[in-house]
Amino acid sequence: MTSALNTTQHEYLRTLRRELHQTPEVSGEEAQTAARMADELERTGADRIWRGLGGHGVAAEFLGHEPGPTVMIRCELDALPIQEVSDAPYRSQVAGKGHLCGHDGHMVMVLGVALALRKRPTKGRVILLFQPAEETGVGAAAVIADPRWGEIRPDFAFAYHNVPGRPLGEIGLCSGVSNCASRGMKISLLGKTSHAAAPEDGVSPALTMAELMQLLPALGPGGAMGEGFALATLTHANLGEASFGIAPGAGEIRMTLRSQTDTRMDQLVSEAEAQLALSLEKMRSQNGEINARVSWHDIFLATVNDPIALKTVHAAATQLGLSRYSMAAPMRWSEDFGRFGLDGAKSAMVFIGSGKDQPQLHNPNFDFPDALTPIGVTLLCHILQHLLGRTHG
């Protein structure tokens, strides 16, 4: 495979990726990362740059020589609120935050495409989107809701994610749903504290919490993927104060609900809310009045690949001689990229292996492999060539 960039350009991207790795910013706080990306895009000669899209988003436009479709390639700006554990000289310099999902690598891949686009495509235009707040599921929706989105809206949209455990550079393609839907359910319960010597004078949510922690996960037992797949995972529980003298009066449960389809997610949400209502009614009849509040967080819709967009990726990977595999089932983890498909773009999520021995995403010692950058840049450039024609000066 002949790289789309030269050795000097790849060394530049490697250095930049490691600088980004040292200065991670989590969802909603990506101001400095966004500013750096906008500055780098200006240096590539982009025809237009949008800043502050849907928060801290940045988009760059590269015009072809003739009219044609708009093709967008999207990457993510945000890091994770996880302490990095690494001996790398470029490890995170921000306590409790780290690029442990590979978004630093994704950014430099897209910037590599910008470098290649100094030679413009035959037709159409390319939009390179550096999206904020992917990890919390709000970024894509916020970008689409931005009043300037109409100036950008693509006909095709492509995104990609590195996948630990697969051979470096192997391309994974999934027909239909590529990433599951998910959302976080937070249940806040408030009764009344009492002295630990007289718990009967208070209203404790303990028994209700214990019941919910058993019954809610049973609504989504996981199992084989398919339209009926549902997984409910208990992620956090907190009861009362860290004290021996106070009978608890408040508690909190957090669950993550996950499904292969948005329809199944709607059902799962209804089932979870119904179970909560039954458990609360049981408590009220036995132990007294309690206030409960449910809030929903990190809402991700299912990401669904368009067959035409997927065919384009397959053709580009075939031309490059990259190893490919057809995925039998979608990824369980979620992506907010699916919202661009719902907005009308023919879209595809591409998975690129980042090494069989690579630590898992969100592990404290994860580090994006720099050897993947030239593979990703070249694949993305060939996708553009298939839709917009070969680049030329």
Could you report the per-residue pLDDT of 370-389, keeping only the tens digit for each?
A: 999 999 999 999 999 999 99
Give the N- to C-terminal CA distance of the chain in Å, as an integer.
22
CB atoms within 10 A of CB 188: 16
Domains and CATH numbers, the chain: 7-179+302-388 (3.40.630.10), 181-299 (3.30.70.360)
Report the distance separating Cα 260 and Cα 255, nearest Å: 17
Report the distance separating Cα 340 and Cα 155, nearest Å: 10
pLDDT of residue 29: 98
CB atoms within 10 A of CB 93: 12
CB atoms within 10 A of CB 7: 9
pLDDT of residue 369: 98
pLDDT of residue 3: 82
Q: What angle do CA 198, 241, 273 make, to 5 degrees?
A: 95
**How high is the mean pLDDT in each 10-residue block of the chain (393 residues)?**
85 98 98 98 98 98 97 98 97 98 98 96 98 97 98 98 97 97 97 96 93 97 96 98 96 98 98 95 76 95 98 97 94 97 98 97 98 97 95 61
Report the distance separating Cα 53 and Cα 38, nearest Å: 12
Q: Taking the model in full, what pTM does it have?
A: 0.95
pLDDT of residue 290: 84
Between helix 373-388 and helix 307-320 the angle, nearest 10°, is 120
Q: What is the enclosing helix (H) or strand (E) of 172?
A: strand 171-173
For the chain, what percent of residues have pLDDT higher than 70? 98
Report the distance separating Cα 141 and Cα 125, nearest Å: 23
Q: How does strand 123-131 pair with strand 66-76?
A: parallel
pLDDT of residue 288: 67
pLDDT of residue 393: 54
